[in-house]
Structure 1
Amino acid sequence: MGRVFKAKRRVWIGFLLILCAAAVGAVLVWMQAQEDPGEPVPYTNPVYRSDAPDPTVLKADDGYYYAVTTQTTRNGTFTPLPILRSKDLVHWEERGTVFTVENVPDWTVYNYFWAPHITYYDGKYYVYYSTMLNDDDESTGMGIGVAVADHPEGPYKDKGEPVLAGISFDTIDPFVYDDEDSKRYMYWGSNGMPIYAQELSADGMSVVGEKTEAIWAGQFDVRDGYDKLVEAPWVIKRANYYYMFYSGDYCCQDSGHNAHYSVMVARSESPVGPFEIYAGNPILEMNDRFLAPGHNAVIQDDAGQDWMLYHAYDLIHPDVSGRAMMLDRIDWLNDWPVINGGQGPTSELQSEGPVIQR
């Protein structure tokens, strides 16, 4: 009987030792992953060689990056608000759309879905988007809508009416920022009007209080008149400053042939301003390879490095249709962002690309 007990005890001790070894191994793997999140993924622009204007991006709980872009036509089919997915910000695949032609909200005009913004809040994914109001008067009234889903690929349920409505193209290009104090803010604007900021309700379905004029068109007299029109805000918090990236002046005239577009930046100690202009604006403009870069998003990789996702016209490769999706590293110099040393979009192989957790 004693021998049996001793044998059983040895089995249990062995089993516990195996469990301890597995736990220690898991901890060591975790510690190594924290110290070495992965290898950089090389890339060459464009990272998505198809029409993908006005990209917005986030990293979801499933480990993938999801981007939503302005409407386009794929293989002759109109596609409102396409959804793209990537594991590394470099290799992208199509994953459906927020809406289909058959289920676009009835308060919108079916072929006007622009400049979306995807965000995650309280267990839900929200896609805010710009559209034309379906008021049966054939007016140019524009509005900002929102659709909500449990997963970034949907299915999405629309609010059923605009979050904001306007009389013209000044009510487009939404961006939502969730501040550290639990307040939420919506930014929008275009058409020679200011970029506005206004507090957003906790459920994300309406604005509250009064709007603030955060940045005015022509306010800072940016070189070459890039800020005669300002739009496409994207706000991040870094140290003590809120940085607003924004674009101007005209993105896509004559299918891009006469586009005059760049990315600028300003900063403030408050999410609603007043904003201080960067003297080095624009931080991203055309070069001999890419035209009219702009309407950017900002995202961090697993190493904490900031990256800019944006669109541009490819001047060299005619097979790259429309405004292709681009990627470039954001460096920081004297507390201001710098892209490619001020030389415009990168066009050569970038060996030090995004770092992704293994």
Structure 2
Amino acid sequence: MIIKNLRLSLLIGCCLLFISTSHAQSNNPLDVAFGDPFILYDDDTGAYYMYGTGGVENGFVAYASKDLKNWENKGTVYTTRQEKSWGTKDFWAPEVYKRGGKYYMFYSAHWKDNPNEELENYRIGIATSTSPTGPFIDITGRPLFDPGYPIIDGNVYFAEGGRQYLYYSRCCYKNPVQSEIADWAKQEGMFDEIEESWIYGVELASDFSHVIGEPKLLLRPPASLADKQSEWESRSVTSGEVNRRWTEGSYLFKHNELYYMMYSANHFGGENYAVGYATASNPLGPFEKSSTNPILQKNTSTGGYVSGTGHNSVLKDKEGKVWCVYHARTAKTGSQRMVFLDELKILPNGQLIVDGPTVKP
């Protein structure tokens, strides 16, 4: 009996050691301190390249990996120290696409052409390189286009027949919107007005030189409190955090003739940052938000320690597995945004599910 108990104790001890070791070697969060992460798989090099917000002042760095687990810092790949630089600060949300043997980086920054001294004068620019690790050089020395209001979070979708579309978020800055949540906040004495950011889409010229036609409004926060999306998309307001509602960080992909637009809501610097999605039969909508939103959010309210989950992109790896790439914070990392990868599943009925946030081997 003593020997049997000893064997059982050893077995339990080994199991606990395995669990503890597995947790210590977990991949989430990755050892990459990025916000707004984006991963490109390059067939020529057989490697993954990650870009994001952070890592260097007034520019971008890149990381490379062969297995999505171990990442090597490749240093600065874009900097303002170049003749055609148009941005001055706040270099955010780079996404890199390979087209015709060249690499194109779409990014957001504060535009130096600012006669009215706006506090948020953001636009989207394009830089190009012959290597995924740069150096990326601005194409024109100015933003891609000027819609007359600040914009961030450029995302490009390459459609059939050579057409391509740019998606972006109009900033909350100086965009107060009347809504039932704004009325509620004012009645509660919390905020006098609520500013909102909205997602737009517009066709993009094949050479990336200009946009075609007028941008089309695709997604915005709900105006009615009865809307099922209103609760989760308004948490930054209802918690008293800030007088803004965001719809940003869009990412578009197609599956079974349906266009999926993933997006983030709430304050990127807070715990309520979360991800939802909408679908359409056309790349420029109209889009209908999913009744299952949000599909990625904090788990601190259920005993976990991950919060601020948002601004995702999507990666299909070389084995065909689909990943949701996003940033989040943990109790250990504090305010520092870290990169997470969790599996993105599409059910037979078309519903999206993100298997996360997880901290796992």
TM-score, normalised via structure 1 length: 0.76
Q: What is the rounded CA distance, in whole Å, between the counterparts of 2:149 and 2:327 in structure 1? A: 24
Q: What is the rounded CA distance, in whole Å, between the counterparts of 1:48 and 1:205 in structure 2? A: 35
Shift of 1:122: 2.0
1:268 is aligned to 280
Q: What is the rounded CA distance, in whole Å, between the counterparts of 1:104 and 1:267 in structure 2? A: 41
1:129 is aligned to 107
Aligned pair count reads 292
In structure 1, give the amino acid aligned to 2:287. F
Runs (4 or more) in structure 1 with deviation over 6 Å come to none
2:319 is aligned to 303
In structure 2, give the amino acid aligned to 1:181. G
What are the Cα deviations for residues 152-184 of structure 1, in whole angstroms up to 9, with x where unaligned? 111222021100235554x10000110022101
Shift of 1:136: 5.3
In structure 2, give the amino acid aligned to 1:177. Y
Shift of 1:236: 0.8
Larger radius of gyration: 1
In structure 2, give the amino acid aligned to 1:67. M
Q: Give the alignment partner of residue 33 of structure 2, picking from 33, 44, 51.
A: 51
After superposition, residues 185-334 of structure 1 pair within 5 angstroms as: 185-189=165-169, 190-191=171-172, 192-218=196-222, 221-222=228-229, 224-226=231-233, 228-252=245-269, 258-288=270-300, 289-315=305-331, 317-318=332-333, 322-333=336-347, 334=349
2:237 is aligned to none
Q: What is the rounded CA distance, in whole Å, between the counterparts of 1:45 and 1:282 in structure 2? A: 24
Q: Does 1:120 align with 2:98?
A: yes
Q: What is the rounded CA distance, in whole Å, between the counterparts of 2:274 and 2:220 in structure 1? A: 16
1:100 is aligned to 79
Q: What is the rounded CA distance, in whole Å, between the counterparts of 2:83 and 2:314 in structure 1? A: 28
Q: What is the rounded CA distance, in whole Å, between the counterparts of 1:69 and 1:104 in structure 2? A: 23
Question: For 2:233, what is the secondary structure of its paired residue?
Answer: helix
Seen in structure 2, the aligned counterparts of structure 1 residues 210 and 330 have a Cα distance that, compared at 3 Å, is same
**Percent identity over the alignment?**
33
Contact 1:54 1:295 in 2 (8 A): yes
Question: For 1:225, what is the secondary structure of its paired residue?
Answer: helix
Q: What is the rounded CA distance, in whole Å, between the counterparts of 1:237 and 1:127 in structure 2? A: 21
Question: For 2:35, what is the secondary structure of its paired residue?
Answer: coil
Shift of 1:49: 2.6
Structural RMSD (CA) = 2.2
1:62 is aligned to 45
Q: What is the rounded CA distance, in whole Å, between the counterparts of 1:95 and 1:218 in structure 2? A: 42
In structure 1, give the amino acid aligned to 2:264. S
Seen in structure 2, the aligned counterparts of structure 1 residues 101 and 224 have a Cα distance that, compared at 3 Å, is same
Shift of 1:150: 1.2
Q: What is the rounded CA distance, in whole Å, between the counterparts of 1:178 and 1:107 in structure 2? A: 26
Gaps spanning 5+ residues in structure 2: where?
A: 1-24, 173-195, 235-244
TM-score, normalised via structure 2 length: 0.75
Q: What is the rounded CA distance, in whole Å, between the counterparts of 1:223 and 1:91 in structure 2? A: 39
Higher relative contact order, chain-length normalized (CA < 8 Å, sep 6+) = 1
Question: For 2:266, what is the secondary structure of its paired residue?
Answer: strand
Q: What is the rounded CA distance, in whole Å, between the counterparts of 2:230 and 2:31 in structure 1? A: 30
